[in-house]
Structure 1
């Protein structure tokens, strides 16, 4: 069974420059632009913005 392309897998990379990433899914219909989420970066040991990579 094929995955639906309405909710693709996206990689979120830390904007702190540590190279740490999260992997999540997003709804393209609700969020057509790049996602920016504030999440915990264990390398920097603080909450930073994570931006969607393409």
Structure 2
């Protein structure tokens, strides 16, 4: 099955500036803007916001 352009792979970079990233997929219909998720940053040792990078 082919990968859909509706669910692209996006890179989430830590808003704290540590340079740590996560890679995930998002649904463009549900989240047309930039995705912001609160995830664990192991460099900081706590949870912080991760913003979508294009």
- Fold shared per TM-score above 0.5: yes
- The question of 1:14 aligning with 2:10 is answered no
Q: TM-score, normalised by structure 1?
A: 0.95
Residue correspondences, number: 54
Q: What is the match of residue 43 of structure 1?
A: 43
Instruction: State the 4+ residue runs in structure 1 displaced beyond 6 angstroms.
Output: none
Gaps of 5+ in 1: none
Gaps of 5+ in 2: none
Q: What is the match of residue 27 of structure 1?
A: 27
Provide the alpha-carbon RMSD of the alignment.
0.8
Kindly state the Cα deviation for residue 9 of structure 1 after the two structures are TM-superposed. Answer: 0.1
In 1: Cα distance, 2:30 partner to 2:15 partner: 23
Deviation sequence 1:23-47 (CA, Å, 0-9, x none): 0000000000000000000001000
Q: What is the match of residue 52 of structure 2?
A: 52
